[in-house]
Amino acid sequence: MSSTPRTVIAIDGPAASGKSSTAQWVAERLDFRHVDSGSLYRGITAAMLRTPTAPEAWTGSKLVAQGSRIALRPERTSFSVLIDGESTEEELRGTRVTEHVSMVARMPEVRAWVNQRVREAAAEHDVVVDGRDMGTAVFPDASLKVFLIADPWERARRRLTQRLGRRPLDLEIAEETELLVKRDARDAMQTVQAADAVLLDTTYLTQEEQVERIVALARAVTHRPNIT
Ligand code: DC
């Protein structure tokens, strides 16, 4: 592990606030690597779902035991989560994993495991990390902390537009908003805004504007004015 202090930009916020895509764009602009902590919670959930153990019997120690099957493969500006050496993106975003992951993410042993993996990734490279508690539990000394929020209806609309590839109907947005608000409630305990985070409400911002604002903040805190 490198002993050089690395720059960490922490982006937290609720589900579908645009954290992951924003963090990825910011990482590309800064030539940092993006670490998506939610994908590690999803990875351990997916690995467990591949075993015959029923979800009712899952415990923190059984879940953490699956951790050895999971690797973070460094890419140029991100990390891929591998299970048993294979790429898993579709499985991680699937409904089975989404249904079970909140319960998994509430287990302290699992949280400790994820936090350790994220810290290891950050020791090797400058990173943009996204999640729920990156600026509080994992990187209280991050160079920059951003907490992203957006109106639930707008978050639902964006998520559906991405998923369906068309303009969603109001009825569809209403159903999705209900699901999102329920998910917010399930994840509420883990979702913590650091006292020194910059709060960014993206309801009326485009993706480009969000990225631009975070890159401007990053430029200021990292003293790298040449970031384009
Ligand atoms: O952001 P996401 O939907 O991929 O997150 C998946 C789950 O993991 C979700 O239930 C919230 C949880 N999570 C968490 O508790 N802490 C994090 N740092 C990241 C995600």
Question: What are the chain's domains?
Answer: 8-32+128-220 (3.40.50.300), 35-125 (3.40.50.300)
Rounded to two decimals, the pTM is: 0.92
Over residues 42-94, the pLDDT tens digits come to: 999 999 999 999 999 999 999 999 999 999 999 999 999 999 999 899 999 99
Q: What's the 104 CA to ligand 1 centre distance in angstroms? A: 9
101 CB less than 6 Å from ligand 1?
A: yes
Query: Is the CB–ligand 1 distance for residue 133 below 6 Å?
Result: yes
Asked whether 15 lines ligand 1 (CB < 6 A), one says yes
Do 41 and 110 form a contact (C-beta atoms < 8 A)? yes
> Is the distance from the beta carbon of residue 139 to the nearest atom of ligand 1 less than 6 Å?
no
pLDDT at 37: 97
How do residues 90-143 score in pLDDT, each as one tens digit?
999 999 999 999 999 999 999 999 999 999 999 989 999 999 999 999 999 999
Helices assigned H by DSSP within the chain? 19-30, 37-49, 60-65, 89-93, 95-105, 108-124, 152-164, 170-187, 207-222
Alpha-carbon gap, residue 26 to 31, rounded angstroms? 8
Q: Any idea what DSSP says for residue 81?
A: E
Residue owning the nearest CA to atom 16 of ligand 1: 132
Q: Is 131 in the pocket of ligand 1 (CB under 6 A)?
A: yes
Query: Does residue 40 have its Cβ closer than 6 Å to ligand 1?
Result: no
Residue 4 has pLDDT above 60, yes or no: no
What are the backbone dihedrals phi and psi of residue 224, each rounded to the nearest 5 degrees, phi first?
A: -120, 80
Query: Mean pLDDT over all residues of the chain?
Result: 93
Q: Does residue 196 register a pLDDT over 50? A: yes
- Measured from the CB, is residue 200 less than 6 Å from ligand 1? no
Atom in ligand 1 nearest the alpha carbon of residue 41: 8
| Tokens coding 68 | 């050895």
SS3 for 131?
Answer: strand
- 154 CA distance to ligand 1 middle (Å): 20
From the CB of 42, is ligand 1 less than 6 Å away?
yes
Residues 6+ away with beta carbon under 8 Å from 162: none
End-to-end CA distance of the chain: 29
Burial of 60 from C-beta contacts in 10 A (0-12 / 13-18 / 19+): middle
Buried b (16+ CB within 10 A) or exposed e, 84-102: eeeebeebbeeeebeebbb
Q: 197-222: per-residue pLDDT in tens?
A: 999 999 999 999 999 999 999 989 88
